[in-house]
Amino acid sequence: MNLSEPGRLPYPPVDPYASGHLEVDELHQIYWETSGNPEGVPVAFLHGGPGGGTLPAHRRFFDPAHYRIILFDQRGAGRSLPKGEIRANTTAHLIADMERLREFLQVEQWLLFGGSWGSTLALAYGQAHPQRCLGFILRGIFLGETREIRWFLHDLQTVHPEAWRAFSEFLPAAERGDLLGAYRSRLDSEDPDTHLPAARAWAHYEASASTLLPNAELVRGMEHDALALARIEAHYMAHNMFLEDRQLLGGVDAIRHLPAILVQGRYDMVCPIAAADELARAWPEAYYEIIPDAGHSAFEPGVTRALAGATEAFKRLLPLAEPPATPQKAHRPRTQASGKRRGPSAKAANKPNKTDSARSKPFAGEAEPQEAAVKEAGKNTRRGSRRRRKAPSAASDVEN
């Protein structure tokens, strides 16, 4: 993923201060970790796939002095056990796992940060438990619609014919009429000589379409540990992601009162922009930013900058009650949290967005802030701008 390139992520590496495995049923244990400020604003990172798993680099999107950074690997993914397991593995199970983890970590509410499948899971969890959410940062929007699954399996060949040809021609000609079924029969096999080549072919295909420009390091990285990703993705696709068509769009009203930032690469070929456009129209209160020179990956430079700006914006929306007693050493952007206690009087800086041909200044760090009121409604906080394409302020010196 080219993560070694200096300056790509806004904060330096940080180690977890606690980690472990949480038993969520008789079969599954999910890996979890917490880093940053133990008294900070809780933020949960929801990885993609399904089956992708978390990386140490994912901690670096968040200011460790401000956030309590919670990473976890979903059932069967990453360091969760048993790895690659598809039994008792559905969207409903993942939502229930998040609730069990939240209770285990004694978190009342958390900010959800998810990309690709992580955006799907964030929306599904948020609509099931809106009272537990502080807001959303979503990237590379995927709504789990049948048409999106068909795009990945078949229609992507209109843009990446070479990658799709390698993906389809991995299979015998007689089996290419049902790509998903043929891959699943191999991926679910217990024989490594059968499932590993199929997993690598699947991962190579997905990685080849994940960035605007070819990234050989990303392709090699995804191929190296491909089985859980390919097996679980194919399992979920075969069951329409365990969602009803239009379920997430139809449920947006449950979370429209919560602040949200949507980040979408214009040339995302894994999760095409049509889904993000639909979500933005169904959720006009959300701030929606199109990155004009990016594909799918969170580590595309423009996407990374926008996500860094989003986590900075939420520092203003969700300030700390008081400064941490022993903040960890980290690069701190010049734009600081207000230091006020969260409540009805909290304010967020906003700046009008521009078209995707010129990235909006709040995320580029050059804007003069404007203020927008932040209000409370009952037990559920209602935070965020009331006009579309108004953005909270972002870091003033986030590195490229």
Helix/strand/coil for 28: coil
Per residue in 364-388, pLDDT (tens digit) is 333 333 233 223 333 333 333 333 3
> Which positions are annotated as active-site residues?
116, 268, 296
Q: What per-residue confidence (pLDDT) applies to 363?
A: 33
pLDDT band, very low/low/confident/very high, at 229 (cuts 50, 70, 90): very high
Helix/strand/coil for 242: helix
Q: Both 136 and 158 in a single domain?
A: no
Average pLDDT over every residue of 217-223: 87
Spell out a b/e string for 194-214, using b for 16 or more CB atoms within 10 Å of the CB, else e: ebbebbbbbbbbbbbbbbbee
Q: What per-residue confidence (pLDDT) applies to 223?
A: 83
Residue 10 lies in a domain: no
CA distance 182 to 194: 12
* Residue ending a domain, choose from 187, 219, 237: 237
* Residue ending a domain, choose from 237, 259, 287: 237
Q: Name the domain count of the chain.
A: 2
Amino acid at the residue 364: A
Select from 186, 184, 185 the least CA-distant residue to 196: 186
Which are the contacts of 285, defined by CB distance < 8 A and separation ≥ 6? 256, 257, 259, 260, 384, 385, 386, 388
CA distances from 60 to 92, 172, 220, 371 (A): 29, 43, 22, 28
* Residue ending a domain, choose from 237, 259, 275: 237
* CATH code, domain with 77: 3.40.50.1820
Q: Both 105 and 158 in a single domain?
A: no
Residue 68 lies in a domain: yes
CA distance 183 to 390: 44
What are φ and ψ of residue 250, in 5° steps?
-70, -20
CA distance 72 to 378: 30
Q: Both 220 and 324 in a single domain?
A: no
Residue 149 has pLDDT above 60, yes or no: yes
Per residue in 85-134, pLDDT (tens digit) is 999 999 999 999 999 999 999 999 999 999 999 999 999 999 999 999 99
Q: What per-residue confidence (pLDDT) applies to 6?
A: 35
DSSP state, residue 59: G
Helices (H), the chain: 91-104, 117-128, 146-153, 161-169, 179-187, 192-208, 216-224, 227-238, 247-250, 273-282, 301-317, 361-364
Q: Which domain holds residue 231?
A: 146-237
Per residue in 245-268, pLDDT (tens digit) is 999 999 999 999 999 999 999 999
Q: Both 134 and 153 in a single domain?
A: no
Q: Both 160 and 139 in a single domain?
A: no
CA distances from 278 to 141, 145, 168, 224 (A): 10, 12, 30, 35
Residue 3 lies in a domain: no
